[in-house]
Amino acid sequence: MYDPKSKFEKHVLPSGVEVWAACLSDRPDIQRQALSIAIHSGSFHGGRGLAHFTEHGVATTGKFDKVIEEINLEGGGVNCGRTSVWQTTYGFLTPLDRFNEFVERFCGYVLKSDLSFDVEAEKKIILSELYRKFETVSSANHQIFYYQCLLKDHWTPAYSRGLGTPEFINAVTPDKVLEFYAKHYTPANISLITAGPMTIAEVVGVLGQSGWGREPQRGQRATEPKLDRELKESPVKACAFEEPIDASKFFSGVAVSPLATKQAVRLASDILEGIFFKRLRMEKNLIYGVGCNWSNYREFYELSVGFNGVNADRIQEAHDEYQRVWSEIGEGKLLTEEQLAQVKKGFVNAARYNDWTLSNIVDFAESDIVFNGRVEPDSEYLQKMDAATLDEVRQVAINLHPEKCFNRWMLAKGAKPPTTVPIFDLNAASKALNEGRIPQPKQNGLSIDFEI
């Protein structure tokens, strides 16, 4: 099995920059080098949207459009800024003979930016990104509400809006951006991840000559936010919101305890999606959409299930079926050893067909480094996957029982809500949670505000 992640080696430059390089000497067809620059600070560290705002400042000041054009003309590519919860990244893919030059230029853009950008103009661009992601304030509030209920008092408000709220974005000042930049864009807070024909010694040589190596030791790795691992009760167990939409939706989410292994969560997610898809979509023709997702937030996992249906009755039936599935899991009728073996086999096969482009190799390695501080070879990952037991997977499924989850319905206009579920005015409920109060269901069926 081709396993380029097993080739990564690490070296720390005197400036404090950490270098991870994979030399793909067995791929003479590859004559390009990819580099990703990971700043170990993201939306969590800056509070609602500051990391993302800074990313825009860096990319705008650095005349990235000129680089994008140049690199594209050479058949390469540029990532001129991406902000996630834990990291902000920039990077490029370039022909070998221009690697040194772009290494030097990117170092200037990222480490020595004066951030002389038009803050007011950028506010408008970032607001437009926010509205592209959340078409309505209501859809953004749904997400925030969901995370606040699911993981109250954890770290969710920062997570749920990496882009920031409109109020936050409008209130950003150049000083705030500069402060974030000075604190986080330091050599010791950066990992450079590269893959291509170059050996780590060659890469280190080039980086040492460049600003990445010449820059004096400065800063430190951003401290990892403290995760409160004890799961708390959600203040609202189930709720419904009225929405001016055509189809109703149901979502159920749970935070999986850190004791569950990553592999078990991943396997459970795939198995459950298979069960739901077959039962709800194929056999009962109940719904038109079903999805089961898992997210990895360091040692904290989140698993969510969602159904879309043309009307609320269908959604209610799907929900009842969903509860039956959990009972069957509890009774040991579902999740057999055979099923598990089948799903594991699927993972091994899928790994063989990984699309190992240079950029993908670097991206996958980067995600490992950000989450675990090291690159995990595929072979190691598959071994752990194979070792996950039925009991572990079942435990994840049991933790997902609807009673432990936060369930919410979004009801299409005019749809009747499930009788036992309180209906909330979303905006009022979000406000209450933000102020630390328990949201109260509304008395009558007034529609929620629907304006951006």
| Residues at the contact surface with Zn ion, assessed by CB under 5 A | 129
CA distance 35 to 89: 10
Helix H or strand E encompassing 19: strand 18-23
Smallest gap from residue 85 Cβ to Zn ion (A):
15
Rg (C-alpha) for the chain, rounded Å, is 24
Hunting for tokens 């936050």 — which residue is that? 168
Of 129 and 317, which has the nearer Cβ to Zn ion?
A: 129
C-beta of 129 vs 202, nearer to Zn ion: 129
- As given in the structure block, the two tokens for residue 65 are 């459009």
How far apart are CB 52 and Zn ion at their closest, in Å? 6
Q: How far is the CB of 296 from Zn ion (least distance, A)?
A: 23
Nearer to Zn ion among residue 129 and residue 273 (C-beta):
129
Nearer to Zn ion, 129 or 313 (CB): 129
**Judging by beta carbons within 10 Å of its beta carbon (0-12, 13-18, 19+), is residue 177 exposed, middle or buried?**
buried
Closer to Zn ion by CB, 39 or 405: give it. Answer: 39
Of 133 and 232, which CB lies nearer to Zn ion in the complex structure? 133
| Residue 434 beta carbon to Zn ion: minimum distance, rounded to whole angstroms | 24
Give the nearest distance from C-beta 8 to Zn ion in angstroms.
29
Name residue 291's beta-bridge partners: 306
Residue nearer to Zn ion on the CB measure, 55 or 425: 55
Residue with the CB atom nearest Zn ion in the bound state: 129
First to last CA, the chain: 50
What is the rounded distance in angstroms from the CA atom of residue 150 to the CA atom of residue 254? 7
Closest approach, Cβ 129 to Zn ion, in A, equals 5
Return phi, psi of residue 204, to 5°.
-60, -35
CB of 376 to Zn ion, least distance (A): 29
Which of 85, 368, 370, 83 lies closest to 221 in space, CA to CA? 370
342-374 core/surface letters (b: 16 or more CB in 10 A; e: else): ebbeebeeebeebebebbebbbbbbbbbbbeee
